Amino acid sequence: MRRKIPAMRRADPGCGDFEKVEFIASDGNMMKERNRNDLIHLRRVQLTRAAYKVVGEKGYSDFTIKDIAREAGLSTGLVHYYFKNKEDLLFKLLKGMNANLKSDLGKALSALEDPREKLLAFCNEAFDLVHKEKAYFSVLVDFLAQINRNKRLRQAMAKLFQSYRDEIEAILQEGMAKGIFAVKDVRFTSVTIVSLIQENIFQHLIDQEAFDYSAYTEKTKKQIFALVMKDS
């Protein structure tokens, strides 16, 4: 009985070339997809930066999608392609800003081993944002004004503050394990520390003439360390 040889396995002199062409075509499609993804990422970054500037200058209530398009140098239709509406834009802007802040904080802490240095670095990073990221707080104040009417934004803000409390808790736990910190209630202490930092920042934003921000942040850092140090 004669055995049938599958078509794919026959000794066709052109078979190898055909497979090579298929591979090249596949590789070309992958390259196109990669380029498309790169373009999407580039457009998102471009629009997010434009939104960051516009919302910081005009506030959430007064900016329009046209303002974002004009700032980015793109069409209004393209803005709508990436963001469904103002709420979607605001949410993604907040998400991106928070990711950047957490990344910067992570970099600042990763090089440190002493929990005291980590706690100080956390405080410094938070307090210095007022000077380094002025537009961020202008946008953040607008976000806070929206959270009671916007569940999605409220959840995003809650997640952000939770991540800060978790970071502080991790530092406190490490300090306690090393016999450096003495904290009875880690959760309460982390909430207190984040609250002290936030209160200084927001009071300064509301009334910059009310107190000497630099002097008060130094006092606040001493107060924070007094809460956690074993020999205080």
CA–CA separation, 148 and 154 (whole Å): 7
| H helices, E strands: number in the chain | 9, 0
Q: pLDDT for 29-59, tens place per residue? A: 555 556 666 677 777 778 878 887 887 777 7
The fourth-level CATH superfamily of domain 85-232 is Tetracycline Repressor, domain 2 (1.10.357.10)
Token pair listed for 113: 């081993």
pTM of this prediction? Answer: 0.70
CA–CA separation, 59 and 9 (whole Å): 67
Q: Are the CB atoms for 126 and 137 separated by under 8 Å?
A: no
Residue 11, pLDDT > 50, answer: no
Q: pLDDT for 62-116, tens place per residue? A: 888 888 888 888 888 888 888 888 778 777 777 777 777 778 888 888 889 999 9
**14-83 is classed CATH 3.90.1170.10:** no
Q: Are the CB atoms for 41 and 30 separated by under 8 Å?
A: no
Domain boundaries, the chain: 14-83, 85-232
Predicted local confidence at residue 7, as pLDDT: 42
Confidence of residue 177 (pLDDT cuts 50, 70, 90): very high
User: Alpha-carbon torsion 203, 204, 205, 208, what sign?
Assistant: positive
Terminal Cα-to-Cα distance of the chain (whole angstroms): 94
